[in-house]
Amino acid sequence: MRLCSRVAISTAVFVASIFIPSPSHSANVDTKAFLADLDPMINIRSYRAEAVSNGKGSPFKMRMEYVAPNQFHIINHVGAGNFETITSKDGSYYKANGKWTKAPFTSNPANTRSGPEQIKQWLRRGTISFAGVQDLAGAPMKVYDYRSPSANGLPDSTLRLWVGADHFIHQMVIDSGKKTAMTIKYFDFNAPISIKAPI
């Protein structure tokens, strides 16, 4: 799954926090330098992520495991239904009605960007500003705001990123511009995660 391009944003999410402004609040930053600062995440071996969207439309939840360079295990909860996919070294699989099936196509790993690479590719399209410093789960994080221009009939989208001292993205809040948003939390960086073909 392409983490950013396939996310179906369906509702407003209020992020409760104590925000600490800095003297450079809302100051634009050099996109190239910002992306270079995320290089440690590009080289990450593994992580887990959870996405939540509630409210307007069908509630949406997603849990993902990622193993470099391009292995994914994703469970989507949309409304009352679930949809599960696995992309492993042995191919792509999906689970429907309790049964696993191998997808009738084979992805070429050389043509598949890793999860972190997809995020960086997406961030290249807009402008980024530094919004301040904020504690997240007891750790200070640099907070950045991202805005992408409208394209192909889609509205402007905004994104808030929480980046730790480890140079990893720990949280992301996506706003589609239509009073809808999704919160994605990243954790278990470089954990011993194994993704295998289910059949």
Q: What is the pLDDT of residues 82-92, one digit of tens each?
A: 889 999 988 89
pLDDT given at position 55:
54
Spatial neighbors of 102 by CB under 8 A, at least 6 apart, are 91, 92, 93, 197, 199
3-state secondary structure of 144: strand
Measured CA to CA, the distance from residue 121 to residue 44 in angstroms comes to 16
State in Å, rounded, how far the first CA of the chain is from the last one: 19
Spatial neighbors of 40 by CB under 8 A, at least 6 apart, are 166, 167, 168
Specify the CATH class of 19-187 in words: mainly beta
Measured CA to CA, the distance from residue 133 to residue 25 in angstroms comes to 9
Percent of the chain with pLDDT over 90: 37
Measured CA to CA, the distance from residue 75 to residue 61 in angstroms comes to 8
pLDDT at 53 over 90: no
Q: What is the pLDDT of residues 10-43, one digit of tens each?
A: 222 222 222 333 333 457 888 888 888 888 888 8
Measured CA to CA, the distance from residue 29 to residue 136 in angstroms comes to 22
For 130, the token pair is 């530094």
Q: How confident is the model at residue 93 (pLDDT cuts 50, 70, 90)?
A: very high
Measure Cα distances from 111 to 21, 108, 121, 127, 168 in Å: 41, 5, 14, 27, 24
pLDDT at 52 over 70: yes
